[in-house]
Chains A and B, each alone.
Chain A
């Protein structure tokens, strides 16, 4: 298990390096001059030159990259061009908000998607199943910003006053209000994934229910309830867990749009704001942070999968792959 953990962590390093190179290059290639944006169009040329020098924009790109990478290795993501505060601090400030959103969305995905899939499978090919399947497909097909806009329309225009649809109440300030303020955005974030998870759970359940060991358990007089919850669900959830892991990454990415629509000052908003003013250190810092979380979550899922699946766990323990 330890060997597996270490080997997965090590293999993540080249992945993240590659991502950083691509992200860094693309960012510098994007039109727009951060120095100009920060000093303003009317500023004298000397001021502009000084700003460029401060931002080290005159160095060749590879040098800028390695300077940045060197700092990164020491845990320093640089300082923001705009307010000169450390990037790590800015991320740390915004992270809890996005995290609250993502955890809430993940909770909705699991709490709604999995049961819907199970019901759908147990009632396969009945009316209930049809409804759930059509609903899931609709959920998957509608992009989350459409859901977001719709929610704003419903709660901001048609039925105002029931749910907060703009802005964020900090968790420390008022817990209940805070959770309420992220409820709609979390749902917008979760909606497509709920559909996906419901479908996946359904097909996975049906596959497992067709397995001979389910028949065998039934032939030995095991209670139907036990067959469903113990024999079937556990094995059926294996592929679902893998997908949930990947989705956690997407939740962070997806929050860019949703946070913008709902005016939530999380990481996603930070990314958009910083890119608008070409605040490179922040933009790349947030991008790398999201990428790292993405990769890390997938490693955790892989390891979890191993814990659940004896074949993998024991294979590793006895040195077999």
Chain B
């Protein structure tokens, strides 16, 4: 808000979270690993934004960077990371710590490993309350924990002194969600593949729970997943990442109906139909280039089925606005709608 250019584009003031041009570099054996190179994100209240991309494309890194969880030697730079009007980069470490689990929290892929194995569930929960619930007296904690657990469909009575390994994965993920939502200030929940390690029925229940929370508390979420059916079912908007960069942003409907970036198109093509029609499955050729590689043009050029020509090898495509859909796509085809709509859709 202090930034004049932000004031100029104040049309979208209903954003809870806006990240612009995030870059994160890890160090590995003394060499820089640029895991996230160009990442922007905008989330409205009550919106669920999907974040998809191949393994290693930097999804988890982006979320951890936003939440300020990375420590040196990892380096995080960004033009802005604005959460409800405050630029998180201007906060002190202590203020940032209060944001984590306060206004913005994160849940992870593997529930059993999200809890310290040698502490009881109750003690881990109480610790979070002591950090984020100044409204409660210490003696009210257990009552509140039971209430929060009930909210995620778990009867916690008599179980607060149990250890994580005494619960199932599905139960633990629910408990984790309850812990993450303990703060009354919570605005944004970052969910990093929250259902990947759960079986299908439990997955459906946890997703349902997340949807309920969105409605009841007007929570915004960023949902990382590999499963495009989860995207279709849950998300309002989707951000597609490739090799540390955002390559496409679109409404969920447009993403499936008219994907703009060849990577998205090829990704959708790779989903097997059901029932299977007996044809050979489409598999994307090649592999994601190594993060440390020097690439002049488009990072996807080598694997692209609809490459334009030398421009793809020499000039990195910026995120172009897509007029027809209102989305964004980083492909040289986009400025020329005739080409963009063409080949991609006849799949």
Interface set of A (CB-CB < 8 Å, partner B): 125, 211-213, 215-224, 231, 234-235, 308-311, 314
Contact = CB atoms under 8 A, between A and B. Distances in A.
A241 B338 CA distance: 69
Contacts of A222: 101, 127-128, 131
Contacts of A220: 100-101, 105, 128, 131-132, 179-180
B240 to A, nearest CB: 24
Contacts of B113: 211-213
Which 3 A-B pairs have CB atoms at the shortest separation, nearest pair first? A220-B101, A221-B101, A221-B100
A30 to B, nearest CB: 49
Contacts of B115: 213, 216
Contacts of B118: 234-235, 308-310
Nearest to A216: B114
Contact of A221 (B99, B163, B176): B99
B331 to A, nearest CB: 34
- Classify the secondary structure of B's interface with A: mixed
A221 B116 contact: no
Contacts of A216: 106-108, 114-115, 176
Given A212-B108, A314-B163, A221 B131 contact: yes
Interface residues of B, number: 35
Interface string B75-111: 0000000000000000000000111111001111110
A218 B131 contact: no
B110 A212 contact: yes
B132 A215 contact: no
B336 to A, nearest CB: 43
Nearest to B99: A221
Nearest to A214: B116
B222 interface: no
Contacts of B27: 125
Contacts of B166: 314
Contact of A213 (B73, B98, B117): B117
A195 B283 CA distance: 51
Nearest to B98: A221
Contact of A219 (B69, B109, B132): B69
A222 B127 CA distance: 8
B108 A221 contact: no
B98 to A, nearest CB: 6
B165 interface: yes
B64 interface: yes
B51 interface: no
B224 interface: no
19 contacts: A125-B73, A212-B108, A215-B69, A216-B106, A216-B107, A216-B115, A218-B69, A219-B108, A219-B180, A220-B100, A220-B101, A221-B98, A221-B100, A221-B128, A222-B127, A222-B131, A223-B97, A310-B120, A311-B117
B152 interface: no
Contacts of B102: 221
Given A212-B114, A213-B114, A314-B166, 5 more contacts: A212-B109, A215-B69, A220-B180, A222-B101, A310-B120
Contact of B116 (A125, A213, A218, A311): A213
Nearest to B64: A215
Interface string B161-184: 001011000000000100110000
Given A212-B110, A216-B176, A220-B179, A235 B131 contact: no
Contacts of A215: 64, 69, 108
A228 B175 CA distance: 23
A125 B127 CA distance: 32
Nearest to A227: B116
A215 B181 CA distance: 17
* Among A211, A218, A220, A314, residue most surrounded by chain B Cβ atoms (within 10 Å): A220
